[in-house]
Each structure stands twice: as C-alpha cells, then as structure tokens.
Chain A
Amino acid sequence: MMVPLPPPDAPAISAALTETRVEVTSGFHGARIVLYGAVFNPDRRPSDVVVVVRGPERPIRLVRKIRRAGVWLNSRPVVFEGAPGFYMAASSRPLSDIAGFGVLRRSGIGVDHLRIEAPQETRTITSYGVRDVVVSRLGADYLDWRRAVIRLMEKASLYKVDPKGVRYVDRGLFRAEVNLPTEAPIGRYETEVWLFQDGRPVAARFRPLVVEKVGIERQIYDFANLMPWLYGLVCVLIALVTGWAASILFRRS
C-alpha cells in the first residue's frame, strides 16, 4: 500500500512496534511491546504525541449489586457495546492539556471518549413535540453504569490512561510501552500514533498489532470451538482412561 508522503515542510510523525504479532502460547504471561517513533517538526512548534492502542471490540455484560431483604443480588444484566477489549492512551502530558474536549471526543482519545453505549437500553421517543429523543431505561444512573465499565476494565488492567507514557529518548525520538495482561483479548489491535499541535491533530500513523493463540493452545481452542461435541467426548474419554489407568497402577503397587 502506498502511503502518501507529506510534503517535507509539514509536520509528520512515524512509528514502529518492536513486535507486530503477539503469540499466546502455554507460557503466555502477558506481553510488553515497545513502540518507537519520530516527530518531524520543521517549524519547531510545541507538539505533543499521543499513542492509542485499541483491542478488538466485544460486548460487555454488567450487573449491579442491589440489596434485597439483607441479601446482595445481581440486577438484570446490561449489555454495553462498542467497548474495546483493550485500550491504552499514553501521552507526554495529560490529555486535557493537549487538546480540547471536542477534539478528543471526535478522535476517541481517552477512556471518557470511547463510544461505549447500551443500545438495548435506549429507545427513541417524542418528547414535547420533539421527535427521536433518545432516552435510556437506565435513566439518571446511566453515567454510573458507563463509568463502572471503565473502572472495572481499568481494575483488570485492560484499560489504561498514562499521561507520562510517552517519553522522549532523543530529540524528536520517542518511545511508549504497551503492556498486555494475560487476560488481553485475542484478535486484531489497532495502534494509533497522533501528533498534536495547538490542540489539533496534525498527523497520525496507524499500525496493526495481532494477538493470536498459536501451537497447541490454538489447536485446543479451535477444536473446542469448531467441534464442541467431539471435543467434549474426547475430554470424557481422557478422564475415563486416566481413572482406569490409575486404578490399575495402584492395584499392582
């Protein structure tokens, strides 16, 4: 693919990952990937770098604990969509100092600007003659729910915002670390490297990152998902043979 080269006098950014493919094997214990990049800044204006990594989207089901008759129960689960399974935003200073609310929202930079929604809970009504007003069944608590999604994902180290995550190692040369926990979802990730000047994005590069199961892990996972019934039978057979073998072994000794 041809990438249109910027004119030499315009600010530009380039970046590369030390690994573009993370292999999940039996020894997988998370991964640390380093991203290196360079800023071309001919007019020497103050500039900021933001590195965003998004994992594959997966719906999230959330419950709220409610107390009824002295017992803590789960509420009805609420499904949130549009939440990446992994999200990291690293920058050289706090995001709110780099750009305004609207710019960050449009680019989806920062956990508060992710498009996490609960479409099954919303419906459109006509209110005071205004058509297609979107209301949520969660009502005023909606923000609590949405914040809880982010808080729980942060707790599982799947979401992270690091205002000191981008470090300059030399003039114009920066690095950022991506720490994938063991629970990081399998799939295709997108790495976005943004260059901001005067609160506006002036250049961006996108780099894909693939996390996949390989080897025996992959084979077992595929077997269990593609031929689940046969897989179940094999599991039972292994268990029966092991039990039988153990009883023979211990009878002799």
Chain B
Amino acid sequence: MDLYLPIAEVSVNAPLLVALGALVGFISGMFGIGGGFLMAPVLVFMGVPAPVAVASQANHVVASSASSVIAYSRQRAVDWRMGGVMAGGGVVGAFVGVEAFRVLRLLGQADLVVAISYLLFLGVIGGLMLIESLNAVLRRRRGEPPKRVKVRHPMWLYALPLRMRFPRSRLYYSVIPPFVLGVFAGVLSAIMGVGGGFILVPAMIYLLRMRASVVVGTSLFQIIVTTAVTTVLQAGRNQTVDIVLSSLLLFGGVLGAQLGARASARFRPDSLRAVLALIVLLVGLQMGLGLFVPPADPFAFAPGAPR
C-alpha cells in the first residue's frame, strides 16, 4: 500500500515504513539508544529528501525516547537535575545546529557535513566500542574477572565554577561540563537527525563519571527535550517535518522499542555492546565511504532546492 507524503512529496510503501520503524525501534529498545543514526540513512535510501528525513525522524526519536524514559523513571533511573542541565545545553545546541544546517544547505555543503559527521562520530565511537566489548567478551570466555573501571574523579571536573549538587547521581560539581555536552548533542541532533545517545552515553560515563545505572535514562530525558526543540525549529524555520512520515515511523517504533527492551534481558551486555558497535561502525563507514566513490553523474541537484 503506497502512501503519498504531503511534505516530502514522494510516495512510499506504508507497511514497509512501519516495519522499518519497528526494526529501528527494536534496536533502540534493545541497546537503549535513540536509533536515529540508523533511520535517517535508510529513509534517504528509500527516496525521502534528506532534510525531510532528518527533521521528521527527530520527531520519531521524541516518541520512542518518551516511552523509554517513562519505563526508566519507574526504576528511579533518571537524574532529572543532570538531565535538565544537559537539556538546557541541548536547546542552545539545537538553535545553533538548525541555523548552521540552513547555511550549509544554502552553500550546498550539507551532504558533505552530514557524511563527515557520520564517518567521524560513528566510526570512532563504533570502533572504540567494538574493541572494548570484544575485550570484555574474550575475558569472559577465558574465565577472567571483568576489568574494574577505576572511578577516578579528575581534578578539572571539580575545579570549575558554578557547582551544583546532583543527588540522584551522588555527584557535586560544575554545571559547565554537562551543559557543554548538551550543546554538542543538540548540534548533532539538528545536523544528523539523531538524538545523540551514542555520544552522550559514553561521555556521561567517562567524562561526567556518572553511575551506569542512571546514564541511559538521563540521556534519554535529555534527548526528548533536544529532539522536541529540534522538531519545532525544523518545522518553523525549514518546513521539513512530515507528520505522516513521522507518525508511520513512530507507530512501528514504539512497538519495536518495547519488544527490544524485553529481548535485551536475554543477552549479555557485553555481547549486546559488540553487536551495537558493529552496527554503528558499518553505518558510519557506509555513509562516509560515499565521499570516496566517484559519482555516476558529475552534477546533482543541491538538496533543499527552494520551492
């Protein structure tokens, strides 16, 4: 059954889109990530214009993250205060990112920046995660005890001004690092159409030294706020949010997310991380390698042609 999308102005196969939403939702529920980095490339492959894909699926991330945050908050696994500080940064970042994306589209360089962002962030993070998780899997196979991560509190984190108490995380330090991290995630959200969970989660563990138990819930809360603001900004400034597209995706997405969250209990966390790392790495390489392949036609329509 084909459906005409009123904003994207293309006709897509509706059941296929719902299935895609469910698949990405499943992966997102399973690994505790937004899954936006997977969705945007697949939508573009299906013929949705890139700006519409990025903006509409930011709205899809709002829905899937909302359903997960409610589940995490029941387990008291959301640090609202930390999430709020990061979300404040995320709003600033979203403003910067949406404006930057507009300028890049006018310069015809949006493709390049998106491809490089994917290659750089997904490649590096996927690579690091893969090495780390494979080491953990190997150590488990050999029967060695898991390596203890030393919880050290670096001086720089505590030397900064504007300290705040974060009771849920049992931390007391400056609001500047989480705020800056939020700004960064907001910019990525606008440019790559992702929530930024794949960057936030490791950054919160290794840079902000948060407990692993609250990291996923808190990052999802921050992601909701950032992607919600991104959606409104993209709709208001660029008119690129297709509600029919994002509804189809989120219908499948919320179902998939819940199923994924259940399925994840059956697997070991380090094997899960290895699989996720592989997916992240492959998507990053696939998007980035396009830069090195000679184009079939030396000319192309610039994305975001004026209507």
A residues touching B (Cβ–Cβ < 8 Å)? 24-30, 58-65, 67, 70-77, 144-145, 148, 151-152, 155, 182-183, 186, 213, 216-218, 220-221, 224-225, 228-229, 231-236, 238-240, 242-244, 246-247, 250-251
Contact = CB atoms under 8 A, between A and B. Distances in A.
A235 B241 contact: yes
Contacts of A242: 63, 66-67, 247, 250-251, 254
Contacts of B305: 58-61
B154 interface: no
B143 interface: no
B64 A28 contact: no
Interface stretch (B161-169, B188-196, B200-208, B229-237): B229-237
A27 B236 CA distance: 27
B146 interface: no
B11 A235 contact: no
A73 B64 CA distance: 35
Q: Is the interface of B mostly helix, strand, loop or mixed?
A: helix
A77 B108 contact: yes
A232 B235 contact: yes
B59 interface: yes
Given A75-B108, A182-B4, A243-B254, A61 B301 contact: yes
Interface in B109-134: 109, 111-112
B247 A238 contact: yes
> Can you list the 9 inter-chain pairs with the closest CB atoms, starting with the nearest?
A243-B66, A232-B235, A148-B299, A246-B254, A232-B232, A61-B302, A77-B108, A239-B63, A243-B67
B277 to A, nearest CB: 25
Given A59-B305, A62-B302, A243-B254, A217 B4 contact: yes
Interface in B264-307: 291-295, 297-302, 304-307
B63 A224 contact: no
B185 interface: no
B246 interface: yes
A72 B299 contact: no
25 contacts: A24-B4, A26-B4, A58-B306, A61-B306, A72-B292, A73-B112, A74-B108, A152-B299, A182-B9, A218-B6, A220-B6, A220-B244, A221-B6, A224-B235, A224-B241, A224-B243, A232-B232, A233-B232, A235-B59, A235-B235, A235-B246, A240-B63, A242-B63, A243-B67, A247-B258
